[in-house]
Amino acid sequence: MKLTIHHLYADMMNLYGDRGNVIAIKKRAEWRGIAVEVVDVGLGESISPTSSADLFLFGGGQDREQTLLVEDLSGMKGADLRAVVEDGGVVLGVCGGYQLMGHYYETPEGQKLPGIGVFDMYTRPRRGDEARLIGNVLARVRAPEEDGVVHEVAGFENHGGRTELGDDAEPFADVIVGYGNNGRDGTEGARRLNAYGTYLHGSLLPKNPWLTDQLVLGALRRVDDRAELEPLDDSAERDAFASVANRLRKG
């Protein structure tokens, strides 16, 4: 089995070490003997799903980078990415990438950057009296996962935008500590089919190994629905998660 990681705008959308998500996915697949190829999908390059397992990553970025790529995204690439999601493909969007997976991201200058409409949500700029939403986050995911467990995720957020979920959007998680989508409604991120959106940088995946495996398994099962992942020794990853989570719980 081979896994292809399609890294969207790798050199532009890589805020706060989101490239660590690529490394976490690559290593946890390779540790199970799965060959991995990483394909950077930059400006002007099309999304090309393969006959093997595909996984798409869209990292975080400042308003400037989001503005620079939005024309490229609103063409065939956005339509192709939306088709991947509608077909059950695995996509992870983080912060700026997540924002552009909604209907639009409005910059502080009032420019509405069109999103690809995967999630029923939009993001507005912070008002003059509102601060950026910055800090560590602990959140509990909504849905029990494949393993029947309701997991928690920990990460770091830094965004000015406030994301408002529409009626057809399902939050990814509920905030325990931190701000999440907008610092008001207690939701964090969004989720639909096998597409995940989150504000959590950190990077997110290294200290949330269950989520990394869930993304990999989701991609593998699109090729072989009997695919399984053998357990790994996650003691280091769990310690990393616990160190952040326990510190946050203590406030």
Q: Is 204 near ligand GLN (CB under 6 A)?
A: no
At closest approach, how far in Å is the CB of 125 from ligand GLN?
8
Token pair belonging to 160: 């000015």
- Out of 6, 7, 95, 103, the active site residue is 95
- Judged by CB under 6 A, the stretch of 57-65, 140-148, 205-213, 225-233 that binds ligand GLN is 57-65
Binding mask 82-121 for ligand GLN (x = CB under 6 A): -------------xx--x----------------------
7 is catalytic: no
Closest CB to ligand GLN belongs to which residue?
60
Residues 91 and 6: their CA atoms lie apart, in Å, by: 9
Nearer to ligand GLN (CB atom), residue 20 or residue 218: 20
For 242, half-sphere exposure in the C-beta direction (CA atoms, 13 angstrom radius) is 6
At closest approach, how far in Å is the CB of 101 from ligand GLN?
12
Quick one: three-class SS letters along the chain?
A: CEEEEEEECCCCCCHHHCHHHHHHHHHHHHCCCCEEEEEEECCCCCCCCCCCEEEEEECCCCHHHHHHHHHHHHHHHHHHHHHHHHCCCEEEEECHHHHCCCCEEECCCCCEEECCCCCCEEEECCCCCCCCEEEEEEEEECCCCCCCCCCEEEEEEEECCEEEECCCCECCEEEEECCCCCCCCCEECEEECCEEEECCECCCHHHCHHHHHHHHHHHHCCCCCCCCCCCCCCHHHHHHHHHHHHHHHCC
Among 49, 114, 160, 186, which residue sits at the site for ligand GLN (rule: CB under 6 A)?
Answer: 160
Token pair belonging to 187: 């939701």
Nearer to ligand GLN (CB atom), residue 4 or residue 14: 14
At closest approach, how far in Å is the CB of 63 from ligand GLN?
4
At closest approach, how far in Å is the CB of 47 from ligand GLN?
20
On whether the CB atoms of residues 10 and 97 are closer than 8 A, the answer is no
Q: Is 62 near ligand GLN (CB under 6 A)?
A: yes
On whether the CB atoms of residues 164 and 124 are closer than 8 A, the answer is yes
Among 3, 5, 10, 15, which residue sits at the site for ligand GLN (rule: CB under 6 A)?
Answer: 15
Nearer to ligand GLN (CB atom), residue 88 or residue 108: 108
151 is catalytic: no
Among 20, 61, 155, 197, which residue sits at the site for ligand GLN (rule: CB under 6 A)?
Answer: 61
Among 67, 74, 136, 158, which residue sits at the site for ligand GLN (rule: CB under 6 A)?
Answer: 158
At closest approach, how far in Å is the CB of 42 from ligand GLN?
18
Question: Applying CB under 6 A, which residues contact ligand GLN?
Answer: 15, 60-63, 66, 95-96, 99, 158-161
Q: Which residues are catalytic?
A: 95, 201
